[in-house]
C-alpha cells in the first residue's frame, strides 16, 4: 500500500528530526498533500496513526493534513485557475471537476493542464 510506505517515511523523517533536536516527542505535524499526488488522504492518515505508535517519540504526534484545491494552467490563454474536484453527488460538468476538467473558465477552451500539486510537503513540526 502506497500510503502506508509514505506514512512510514514521514515517521522516519520525524524520528530523525527528534533525534537531531534532542526532543523527547513530536506533538504536531502539518503536511500538505498535493491534489495530483495520487495519495489517498484517509489511507495516509490511517497509516500514520497506526504506525506512529511503534516509536515513543511519534506516538503522541497529531497529524494535520491540508489538501489544497487543484490548480490548472490553460494551454491556450495561460491563465491559472483553481478548480475543485467534483464532490460525490455533484455534477462534474457543473464544477468542472475531476482530474481533467472540461474547460478553462477564462477562455472556455478545453486544454487545461495540472499545475504542480504532485507532492507531499512537510510544513511544520512541533516537538518538546
Residues that bind Zn ion (CB under 5 A): 74, 76-77, 104, 106-107
In the bound state with Zn ion, the residue whose beta carbon lies nearer, of 48 and 72, is 72
Q: How far is CA 58 from CA 6, 7, 44, 114, 123, in A?
A: 15, 12, 15, 34, 16
Least distance to Zn ion, CB of residue 125, Å: 39
User: Whole-angstrom Cα distance, residue 5 to residue 2?
Assistant: 6
In the bound state with Zn ion, the residue whose beta carbon lies nearer, of 19 and 79, is 79
Least distance to Zn ion, CB of residue 82, Å: 14
Least distance to Zn ion, CB of residue 101, Å: 11
- Would you say 113 and 76 are in contact if contact means Cβ atoms under 8 Å apart? no
Amino acid at each position: 500500500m502506497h500510503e502506508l510506505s509514505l506514512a512510514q517515511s514521514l515517521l522516519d523523517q520525524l524520528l530523525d528530526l527528534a533525534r537531531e533536536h534532542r526532543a523527547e516527542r513530536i506533538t504536531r505535524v502539518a503536511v500538505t498533500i498535493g491534489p495530483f499526488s495520487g495519495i489517498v488522504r484517509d489511507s495516509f492518515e490511517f497509516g500514520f496513526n497506526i504506525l506512529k505508535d511503534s516509536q515513543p517519540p511519534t506516538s503522541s504526534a497529531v497529524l494535520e493534513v491540508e489538501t489544497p484545491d487543484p490548480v490548472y494552467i490553460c494551454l491556450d490563454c495561460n491563465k491559472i485557475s483553481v478548480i475543485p474536484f467534483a464532490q460525490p453527488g455533484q455534477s462534474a460538468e457543473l464544477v468542472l471537476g475531476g482530474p481533467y476538467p472540461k474547460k478553462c473558465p477564462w477562455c472556455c477552451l478545453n486544454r487545461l493542464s495540472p499545475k504542480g500539486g504532485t507532492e507531499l510537503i512537510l510544513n511544520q513540526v512541533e516537538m518538546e
